[in-house]
């Protein structure tokens, strides 16, 4: 359910790979913790190569999160929304998200 796999082109979503995990869990009566909505890596090239402002990049992130959660609905009992926002030394991980809005995971609603 990584960004590059679920949204390989802007606003073009591919749920195939993630749906395999959902189907296996449901077929076996298991709960599924879904991973992940936003990460500092494994982004689609269009995200990392885009010419963004803080507002346009935030809109991309919100659309991605809302689309995935809407699609899989109750299939996931929880989501890893933000993955590895901090580096091992406690600083922010280097990413396109941090370059535009250092506290992006806290103020996006």
Look at residues 61, 55, 68, 66 and name the one whose alpha carbon lies nearest to residue 85: 61
Summarize the confidence of residues 71-99 as an average pLDDT. 81
Q: Taking a C-beta distance cutoff of 8 angstroms, is the pair 83, 36 a contact?
A: yes
DSSP-derived letter for residue 94 is P
Instruction: Mention every residue, 6+ apart, whose C-beta is less than 8 A from residue 11.
Output: 63
Model pTM above 0.75: yes
How is residue 9 written in tokens? Answer: 């082109």
Q: What is the pLDDT of residues 36-79, one digit of tens each?
A: 888 777 899 999 999 998 889 889 999 999 999 999 988 999 98
pLDDT at 97 over 90: no
What's residue 93's pLDDT?
A: 76
Q: Taking a C-beta distance cutoff of 8 angstroms, is the pair 74, 26 a contact?
A: no
What's residue 13's pLDDT?
A: 98
What's residue 102's pLDDT?
A: 60
Q: What is the pLDDT of residues 5-30, one digit of tens each?
A: 999 999 999 999 999 999 999 999 99
User: Can you tell me the distance from the alpha carbon of 105 to that of 109, in angstroms, rounded to the nearest whole number?
Assistant: 9
């Amino acid at each position: 359910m990584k960004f590059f796999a679920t949204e390989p082109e802007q606003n073009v979503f591919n749920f195939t790979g993630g749906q395999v995990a959902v189907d296996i869990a449901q077929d076996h009566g298991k709960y599924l913790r879904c991973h992940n909505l936003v990460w500092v890596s494994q982004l689609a090239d269009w995200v990392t190569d885009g010419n963004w402002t803080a507002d346009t990049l935030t809109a991309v992130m919100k659309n991605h999160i809302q689309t995935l959660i809407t699609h899989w609905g109750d299939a996931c009992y929880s989501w890893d929304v933000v993955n590895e926002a901090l580096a091992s030394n406690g600083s922010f991980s280097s990413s396109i998200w941090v370059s535009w809005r250092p506290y992006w995971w806290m103020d996006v609603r």
